Amino acid sequence: MLRRLVSLAALAGVPWLPASAAAQVPQAQVPQAQPPQAQPPQAQPPQAQPPQAQPPQAQPPQAQPPQAQPGGPGPHAPVPGDPRSETALQEGPPAAAPPSGDYGPPVPPGGGHGAPFPYPYPPVYMEPAAFPRTLPYRERVPPPPGYRLETTVSRPLVISGGALLGTAYLVAALTGGTIVTMGERGASDHLPLFVPLAGPFITMATAPDAGIGGRHDGPLGMLLLFDGVAQVTGAVLLVAGLLSNKPVWVRDDIPQKAQVTPRVTLPEFTMGPQGGGVRVRF
């Protein structure tokens, strides 16, 4: 560094100093350049980072409350003298736009009003045809609404008695007709089979091959015995059913039948050269 200063002084015209003087120059006055020393890195204070922009998130549309429009002539207010206004008045107000599908966000669970309670079902009304035509009568039981009390015959007794009597008599008549038609000896003894009720028993007493017990015992006698018992049983059931007055409840919308007094007539017998017949009326 000293050499550099001397060189600069010589170039500037400064006379050379004696060596002694130059030696006496205090070194303290000549600043020496210090080599640069590595400075330790100083901790920098943390700098605040700028917030990063977040992408906008889609928010559900919220229902806006209706805003009151200020009074005044609207866009469709008629203008005097304007032909378009007159046409608009003739056509009427414009049609309302259909409601949009945007009804706002759904109500969160637990908030708002819940679903209304269901109303009770109305009473069921049954048509008259849905009720039975008749109901059995019971003592000390109040009458059911919509029914009237009538008396009728016992249908089960009438049906069962008539069927049993008719079947048994038909068997006896066919048996007697077959024997009479064949024209065998003693055929006239079987003519009482055409008589209902008592016919089988009379034939058992008159016909030699229709007896029970003794030497005249045969299958025809047992057949006539069962046939006569069946006819008597059927007749008893039929008469009991016709004479019985059974009270029943009848629906009001069914027309009332005229009360008919049961009448039992005796059978009519017809005899001819070719055979005979019986007609019974109930």
Is the Cβ–Cβ distance between 135 and 249 less than 8 Å?
A: yes
| Mean pLDDT calculated for residue range 149-174 | 89
Is the predicted pLDDT of residue 42 greater than 90, yes or no? no
| Mean pLDDT calculated for residue range 19-31 | 46
Q: Quick one: pLDDT at residue 166?
A: 92
Q: Quick one: pLDDT at residue 232?
A: 93
For the ranges 66-70, 72-76, 145-149, 205-209, the maximum mean pLDDT occurs at 145-149
More confident residue, 116 or 210: 210
| Mean pLDDT calculated for residue range 130-151 | 84
Is the Cβ–Cβ distance between 234 and 171 less than 8 Å?
A: no
What is the rounded CA–CA span in Å between residue 137 and residue 118?
41
Is the predicted pLDDT of residue 9 greater than 90, yes or no? no
Provide the CA 27 distance to its chain's centre, in angstroms. 121
The chain-wide mean pLDDT, for the chain, equals 70
Give the pLDDT band of residue 153 (cuts 50, 70, 90). Answer: confident
Q: Quick one: pLDDT at residue 98?
A: 56
More confident residue, 253 or 169: 169
Give the pLDDT band of residue 165 (cuts 50, 70, 90). Answer: very high
Provide the CA 134 distance to its chain's centre, in angstroms. 30
Is the Cβ–Cβ distance between 148 and 160 less than 8 Å?
A: no
Give the pLDDT band of residue 281 (cuts 50, 70, 90). Answer: low
What is the rounded CA–CA span in Å between residue 128 and residue 7?
143
> Kind of pairing, strands 147-152 and 246-251?
antiparallel
For the ranges 21-25, 57-61, 95-99, 146-150, the maximum mean pLDDT occurs at 146-150
* Whole-structure pTM value: 0.42
Tokens for 43, please give them: 């901790």
Q: Quick one: pLDDT at residue 23?
A: 44
Q: Quick one: pLDDT at residue 223?
A: 87
More confident residue, 195 or 41: 195
Give the pLDDT band of residue 25 (cuts 50, 70, 90). Answer: very low
State percent of the chain over pLDDT 90: 9
Residue written as token pair 């002539």: 73
| Mean pLDDT calculated for residue range 92-107 | 57
205-256 pLDDT, tens digit per residue, is 888 777 776 555 667 888 888 999 999 999 999 999 888 888 888 888 877 7
| Mean pLDDT calculated for residue range 18-26 | 45
Q: What 8-state DSSP symbol labels residue 111?
A: S
More confident residue, 151 or 116: 151
Give me the residue spans of the domains in the chain: 154-254+264-272
